[in-house]
């Protein structure tokens, strides 16, 4: 049974997950036990897991957030052993490195990053990129055959994999668009990027998008400053003179008003 602190914290995290879901992951608590969360990870583009749909579970202790959860992945992925606890820095294999500030979103984002790496640990397996792609292609059909998945995610039991609330379009600096995964010949020839490589690539895309937006803003301002100047020169001088005259009259009116008030006060 969840402690009061665990229940309050996990309830808050569910609300936050609904408002700001992290890229390529989604999770919901079990209706009967808030300490058990089912999650889905979608394979990011430009990785051997592209197009894959991976179902797993987070098992929180009653002492959460002061102790870390156990983590399993059910769907065969070529990266983790199905239905076996996964050892990494945010799991219950490493209580000493656990940070109570970490959340469900943090854990799943870390798990995705760890999944994209090649580090071997308890619960992991070794496979080729082609094997991972084969698992990814079969993952949704495998999930549909599993009662746990159907009960946890009935809305995702569609003929084709359904997009998660956040498929990483914003993080990659582009609007939602039909997936073009594995259309480049270089994808199959190059090794899967690690979590840090994916992060660097995302940051570069965002910087490029920001720079292009700044350029568009500058170009939009320039014509009004240069091209329209001859046409509006007379109006500009008239506005300047009106401003000067108003400033002088304003101060004159204020001084006159002060004199009138002073005389009225002295006569009384």
- CA distance linking residue 18 with residue 199, whole number of Å: 23
Tokens 């969360």 belong to residue: 37
Cβ-Cβ contacts under 8 Å for 162 (sequence gap 6 or more): 155, 156
- CA distance linking residue 51 with residue 141, whole number of Å: 12
User: Are 174 and 205 a contacting pair, CB within 8 Å?
Assistant: yes
CA-based nearest residue to 192, from 25, 39, 48:
48
Q: Is 87 a catalytic residue?
A: yes
Catalytic hit among 28, 59, 87, 187:
87
User: Are 124 and 86 a contacting pair, CB within 8 Å?
Assistant: yes
Q: Active-site positions?
A: 87
């Amino acid at each position: 049974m969840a402690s009061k602190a665990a229940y309050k914290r996990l309830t808050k995290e569910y609300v936050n997950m609904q408002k700001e879901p992290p890229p390529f992951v989604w999770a919901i608590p079990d209706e009967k036990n808030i300490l058990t969360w089912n999650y889905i990870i979608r394979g990011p583009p430009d990785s051997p897991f592209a197009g894959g749909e991976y179902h797993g579970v987070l098992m929180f202790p009653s002492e959460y957030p002061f102790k870390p959860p156990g983590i399993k992945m059910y769907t065969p992925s070529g990266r983790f052993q199905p239905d076996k606890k996964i050892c990494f820095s945010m799991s219950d294999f490493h209580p000493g490195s656990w940070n109570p500030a970490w959340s469900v979103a943090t854990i799943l984002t870390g798990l995705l990053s760890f999944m994209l790496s090649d580090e071997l640990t308890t619960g992991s397996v070794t496979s080729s990129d082609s094997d991972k792609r084969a698992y990814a292609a079969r993952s949704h059909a495998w999930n549909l055959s599993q009662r746990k998945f159907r009960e946890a995610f009935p809305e995702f039991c569609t003929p084709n994999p359904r997009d998660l609330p956040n498929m990483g379009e914003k993080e990659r600096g582009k609007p939602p668009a039909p997936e073009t995964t594995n259309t480049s010949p270089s994808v199959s020839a190059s090794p899967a990027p690690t979590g840090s490589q994916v992060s660097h690539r995302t940051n570069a895309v965002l910087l490029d998008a920001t720079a292009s937006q700044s350029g568009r803003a500058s170009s939009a301002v320039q014509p009004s400053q240069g091209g329209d100047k001859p046409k509006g020169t007379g109006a500009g001088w008239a506005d300047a003179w009106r401003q000067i005259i108003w400033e002088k009259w304003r101060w004159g009116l204020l001084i006159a008003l002060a004199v009138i008030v002073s005389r009225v006060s002295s006569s009384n």
